[in-house]
């Protein structure tokens, strides 16, 4: 018989139990934080009409998976979770309470060239607020993002904050022609990555006036206490349309962040931050870690134009997106969430002559709410069976052979320490719990 060749698409991966245990644990943490901040769950289909998905992606549309379905409809796999949100808001206006705060943890698909921390199928954890133009909404989005990253235990992350309209004002103030502004944003966004000398060189080569290039670098490179930097810019840019509003909005945002008790070492003003250029309209945020180099682990911002593309009228919205895979890269590198490779707490081996007794004990333990993996290999030696338990990192074994069964007792063995206690059947649950508690207190 010729076997089929098992193969998997580039950029797609299997998640074996060990990885799934970690992934599910992280998603549980994120969900918990989202709900603590008052966001509610939402899910949408993986496939949408191409027309629905297309609106905002801009030049990224070429990265979108798209095809014809059996009914010849032009469809695509969702590229992010934000466009489906906008569609949901437009379709269910009457059923939703506005402002609408939802979270969405689900896979998205992009046909990118895979690299470390970059896949073609990956999970995003989004939290968005639709229907509020207030900077308070942006502050809450930043707060939930920082809270989620902290809850996972990322050791050193900062979120950089900027304002799309402020960036536009800075470029205009520097004398960058509007037609070249987008190109300039892209270049200065690399400031923290390649340094001001390299950025200056790229700007000079991009055809903008030399004076503008130098002035942009000066403006965008300012650092210091956000309040001071913003106050300085407010004066300097008073002539630039939109600049005052942008500065005021950012100042307001920083005030709210302080009052929300977001640790101030977790965020910073970065006037060079650009981010996705196609749809952000207000404050923008980006979370990065120094190690490992996996790009940004989360992004956020205000996008007042997107929802309106489905409604024909403007609907303010702001939200954040956390990249599960990239965060997992960090978590694994620093072993931030130690996990066992089994979900079971207890292992029950089987003896050929005492299978029924082991089964009965298994039932009792499960009835008490314990997670029990009962051996299905009674023909193997007990040594082999315990070896299996050891490989799966199960910490406790409950051993019942013929003599124990006859005496109405069982041996409860701590597989980490080798300590074994013999106890009557009616005490077995207590004995197991006692071992488990010792383990949790980290002895």
Partner RNA sequence: GUGCCUUUAGCUCAAUCGGCAGAGCGCCGGUCUGUGGAACCGGAGGUCACGGGUUCGAGCCCCGUUAGGCACCCCA
Residues of the shown chain interacting with RNA in the complex, contacts defined by CB under 7 A: 7-13, 59-60, 63, 80, 110-120, 122, 124, 186, 190, 193-194, 275-278, 287, 293, 295-299, 321-323, 325-326, 351, 354, 381-384, 386-387, 389-391, 397, 399, 401-404, 411, 413-416, 418, 420
- Pairing, β 74-77 against β 66-68: antiparallel
CB nearer RNA, residue 57 or residue 212 = 57
Phi, psi of 408 (to 5 degrees): 70, 30
Query: Structure tokens of 163?
Result: 């304002």
- For residue 158, give Cα distances in angstroms to 139, 186, 264: 15, 21, 10
Q: How far is the CB of 147 from RNA (least distance, A)?
A: 16
Phi, psi of 318 (to 5 degrees): -150, 150
CB nearer RNA, residue 3 or residue 97 = 3
* CA atoms 319, 321, 322, 326: torsion sign: negative
CB nearer RNA, residue 44 or residue 206 = 206
CB nearer RNA, residue 251 or residue 422 = 422
- Yes or no: say if 109 and 120 are a contact pair by the CB < 8 Å rule: yes
Q: How far is the CB of 79 from RNA (least distance, A)?
A: 9
CB nearer RNA, residue 245 or residue 423 = 423
Q: How far is the CB of 283 from RNA (least distance, A)?
A: 15
CB nearer RNA, residue 230 or residue 318 = 318
Q: How far is the CB of 62 from RNA (least distance, A)?
A: 7
Helix axes 226-236, 164-174, angle to 10 degrees: 50
- Pairing, β 47-49 against β 157-163: unpaired
Q: How far is the CB of 60 from RNA (least distance, A)?
A: 5
Q: How far is the CB of 97 from RNA (least distance, A)?
A: 26
Taking the mean position of all CA atoms in its chain, how far away is CA 387?
36
Distance (Å, whole) CA 228 – CA 232: 6
Alpha carbons within 13 angstroms on the beta-carbon side of residue 221 total 16
Q: How far is the CB of 319 from RNA (least distance, A)?
A: 10
Q: How far is the CB of 100 from RNA (least distance, A)?
A: 20
Q: What is the dihedral of CA 372, 373, 377, 381, to 10 degrees?
A: -70
CB nearer RNA, residue 99 or residue 390 = 390
CB nearer RNA, residue 243 or residue 385 = 385
Nearest to 218, CA basis, from 207, 206, 210: 210
- For residue 415, give Cα distances in angstroms to 113, 277, 354: 45, 55, 21
Helix (H, G, I), strand (E, B) or coil at 329: helix
CB nearer RNA, residue 60 or residue 134 = 60
CB nearer RNA, residue 10 or residue 371 = 10
Alpha carbons within 13 angstroms on the beta-carbon side of residue 439 total 20
CB nearer RNA, residue 296 or residue 309 = 296
CB nearer RNA, residue 35 or residue 112 = 112
- Yes or no: say if 246 and 166 are a contact pair by the CB < 8 Å rule: yes
Nearest to 221, CA basis, from 191, 247, 246, 249: 191
Q: How far is the CB of 124 from RNA (least distance, A)?
A: 6
Distance (Å, whole) CA 144 – CA 78: 24
Buried b (16+ CB within 10 A) or exposed e, 12-36: eeeeeeeeebbbeebeebbbebbee
- Yes or no: say if 152 and 281 are a contact pair by the CB < 8 Å rule: no
Q: How far is the CB of 381 from RNA (least distance, A)?
A: 4
Q: How far is the CB of 76 from RNA (least distance, A)?
A: 15
């Amino acid at each position: 018989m010729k076997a089929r060749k098992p193969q998997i698409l580039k950029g797609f991966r299997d998640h074996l139990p060990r990885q799934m245990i970690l992934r599910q644990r992280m998603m549980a943490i994120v969900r918990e934080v989202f709900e603590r901040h008052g966001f509610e769950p939402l899910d949408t289909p993986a496939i949408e009409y191409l027309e629905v998905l297309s609106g905002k992606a801009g030049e990224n549309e070429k990265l979108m998976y798209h095809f014809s379905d059996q009914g010849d409809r032009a469809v695509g796999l969702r590229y992010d979770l934000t466009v489906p949100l906008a569609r949901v808001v437009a379709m269910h206006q009457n059923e939703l309470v506005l402002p609408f705060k939802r979270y969405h943890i689900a896979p998205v698909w992009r046909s990118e060239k895979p690299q470390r921390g970059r896949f073609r199928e990956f999970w995003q954890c989004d939290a968005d607020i639709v229907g509020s133009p207030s900077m308070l909404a942006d502050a809450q989005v930043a707060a939930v993002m920082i809270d989620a990253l902290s809850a996972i235990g990322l050791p050193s992350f900062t979120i950089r904050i900027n304002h799309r309209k402020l960036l536009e004002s800075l470029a205009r103030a520097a004398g960058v022609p509007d037609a070249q502004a987008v190109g300039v944003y892209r270049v200065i966004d690399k400031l923290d990555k390649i340094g001001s000398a390299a950025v200056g060189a790229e700007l000079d080569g991009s055809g903008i006036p030399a004076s503008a290039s130098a002035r942009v670098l000066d403006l965008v490179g300012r650092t210091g206490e956000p309040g001071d930097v913003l106050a300085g810019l407010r004066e300097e840019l008073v002539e630039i349309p939109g600049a005052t509003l942008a500065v005021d909005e950012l100042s307001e945002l920083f005030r709210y962040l302080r009052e929300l008790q977001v640790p101030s070492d977790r965020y910073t003003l970065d006037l060079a931050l650009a981010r996705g250029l196609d749809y952000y309209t207000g404050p923008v945020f980006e979370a990065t870690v120094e190690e490992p180099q996996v790009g940004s682990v989360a992004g956020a911002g205000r996008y007042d134009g997107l929802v309106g593309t489905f409604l024909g009228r403007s609907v303010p919205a702001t939200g954040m997106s956390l990249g599960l895979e990239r965060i997992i890269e960090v978590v694994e590198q620093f072993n931030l969430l130690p996990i066992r490779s089994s979900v079971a707490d207890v292992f029950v081996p089987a003896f050929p002559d005492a299978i029924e007794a082991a089964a009965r004990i298994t039932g009792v333990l499960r009835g008490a709410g314990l997670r029990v993996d009962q051996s299905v290999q009674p023909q193997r030696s007990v040594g082999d069976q315990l070896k299996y338990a050891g490989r799966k990192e199960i910490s406790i074994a409950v051993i019942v052979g013929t003599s124990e069964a006859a005496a109405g007792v069982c041996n409860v063995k701590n597989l980490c320490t080798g300590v074994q206690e013999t106890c009557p059947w009616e005490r077995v649950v207590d004995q197991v719990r006692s071992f488990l508690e010792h383990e949790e207190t980290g002895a």
